[in-house]
């Protein structure tokens, strides 16, 4: 069955959901996006995702031609049109078609796209046994060059690191910032456990402030686990008791080796296991 896609003001079959070859989203990666999950027909933290979309757009002087309410409606309409209760939603806003050349003022009609699809999860084995990750040589974009807080259509920085991970046989890769500090993974935030406390890099380490990251920090707080943002280096990860990643697609996933070194006991630890369980309950509540 063809998927149904929302384009600007209506739902269309996927083969009619098209953007111009002159769209600056295609030509220059000039645009923004969000990835959301729906659980049992309820979109997890919709407002936080819409706020972040607007923040990303504002940062690149892109005016989204629809209201947040209209996009929220488009999200539920697109999920319903595809008969999805549990699904993945991709929001995309492009700069629109224009003349060749970077100048955004010579574009018009930003395109608003909402795609809903089934979610392709990591195999359940990764959640039970944990992931192996490696550190990529590709640094996270310097925030003075381009803020990693903008979820832009230009993800080449992360894709370069993802390729390094895949070439090393790993599905995720760790990215450091220009100071050699731990930033995040290519599409996930990172946490470690040290002396029973949860530590995660602060926003100024050059990360995307993940919505799952925020939810997990709240869950830890509720569970009486101390959680702190702290500048971390690889030494902290190598010597951690536990490590896990968070992201909309992956949710909470344990990490058991980094650069071939075993983390903690080599299997998912008790705090990670607890937070996986709490997150599962939260998204279905």
Residue 47's contacts (CB-CB under 8 Å, 6 or more residues apart) are none
| Of 8-16, 131-139, 246-254, 258-266: span binding ligand PXG (CB under 6 A) | 246-254
Size of the site for ligand PXG (CB under 6 A): 15
Token duo for residue 285: 């509540």
**DSSP code, position 8:** T
Query: To the nearest whole angstrom, how small is the minimum distance from the Cβ of residue 32 to ligand PXG?
Result: 12
Residue 213 interacts with ligand PXG (CB under 6 A): yes or no: yes
3-class state of residue 236 by DSSP: helix
Contact pattern from residue 6 through residue 35 relative to ligand PXG, giving x for each residue in contact according to CB under 6 A and a dash for the rest: -----------------------------x
Q: In which element (H, E) is residue 194 found? A: strand 189-194
Residue 16 tokens read as 């009619």
Active site residue 162: no
Which H or E run includes 74? helix 68-81
Q: Which of 96, 165, 206, 210 binds ligand PXG (CB under 6 A)?
A: 210
Which residue from 199, 211, 217, 271 is in contact with ligand PXG, where contact means CB under 6 A?
A: 211
269 binds ligand PXG (CB under 6 A): no
DSSP state of 186: S
Stretch that binds ligand PXG, among 12-20, 21-29, 207-215, 257-265 (CB under 6 A): 207-215
In the complex, what is the shortest distance from the CB of residue 211 to ligand PXG, in angstroms, rounded to a whole number?
Answer: 4
Using the minimum distance from each CB to ligand PXG, give the nearer residue, 21 or 144.
144
Q: Does 172 bind ligand PXG (CB under 6 A)?
A: no
Rounded-to-integer distance, Cα 214 and Cα 49, Å: 12
Q: 96 with 110: CB under 8 angstroms? A: yes
Is residue 247 a contact point for ligand PXG (CB under 6 A)?
Answer: yes
Rounded Cα distance, 109 and 213, in Å: 34
Question: Which residue in the set 246, 258, 264, 279 belongs to the binding site for ligand PXG (CB under 6 A)?
Answer: 246
DSSP state of 27: H
- Would you say how long the chain is, in residues? 285
Give all strands (DSSP E) within 29-151, no chain letters. Answer: 31-39, 42-43, 87-94, 97-98, 107-108, 112-117, 131-135
Closest CA to 115 of 243, 7, 1: 7
| Residue 191 zone, left/alpha/beta (φ > 0; ψ -120 to 50; rest) | beta
> Which residue in the list 151, 162, 222, 277 is annotated as catalytic?
151
Which residue's beta carbon is nearest to the bound ligand PXG? 210
Shortest Cβ 119–ligand PXG spacing (Å) = 9
Q: Is 68 helix (H, G, I), strand (E, B) or coil?
A: helix
Q: Does 177 bind ligand PXG (CB under 6 A)?
A: no
User: Looking at 3-11, 159-167, 181-189, 233-241, which segment touches ligand PXG (CB under 6 A)?
Assistant: 181-189
164 binds ligand PXG (CB under 6 A): no
Which residues form the catalytic set?
151
The residues binding ligand PXG (CB under 6 A) are 35, 158, 184, 187-189, 208, 210-213, 246-249
């Amino acid at each position: 069955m063809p998927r149904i896609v929302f384009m600007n003001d209506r739902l269309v079959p996927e083969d009619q959901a098209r953007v111009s070859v002159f769209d600056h989203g295609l030509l220059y990666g000039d645009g923004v996006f969000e990835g959301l999950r729906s659980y049992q027909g309820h979109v997890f933290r919709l407002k936080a995702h819409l706020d972040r979309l607007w923040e990303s757009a504002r940062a690149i002087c892109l005016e989204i031609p629809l209201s947040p309410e209209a996009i929220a409606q488009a999200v539920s309409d697109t999920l319903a049109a595809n008969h999805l209760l549990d699904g993945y939603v991709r929001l995309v806003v492009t700069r629109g078609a224009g003349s060749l050349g970077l100048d955004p003022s010579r574009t018009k009609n930003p395109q608003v796209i909402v795609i809903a699809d089934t979610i392709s999860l990591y195999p359940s084995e990764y959640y039970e046994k944990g992931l192996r990750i490696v550190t990529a040589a590709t640094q996270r974009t310097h925030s003075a060059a381009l803020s990693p807080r903008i979820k832009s259509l230009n993800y080449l920085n992360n894709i370069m690191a993802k390729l390094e991970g895949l070439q090393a046989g790993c599905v995720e890769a760790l990215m450091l910032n220009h100071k050699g500090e731990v930033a995040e993974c290519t599409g996930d935030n990172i946490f470690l456990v040290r002396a029973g406390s949860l530590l995660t890099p602060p926003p100024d380490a050059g990360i995307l402030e993940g919505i799952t990251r925020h939810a997990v920090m709240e869950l830890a707080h509720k569970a009486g686990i101390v959680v702190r943002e702290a500048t971390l280096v690889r030494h902290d990860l190598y010597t951690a008791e536990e490590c896990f990643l968070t992201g909309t697609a992956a949710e909470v996933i344990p990490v058991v080796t980094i650069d071939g070194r075993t983390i903690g006991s080599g299997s998912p630890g008790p705090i990670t296991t607890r937070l996986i369980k709490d997150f599962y309950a939260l998204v279905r509540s």
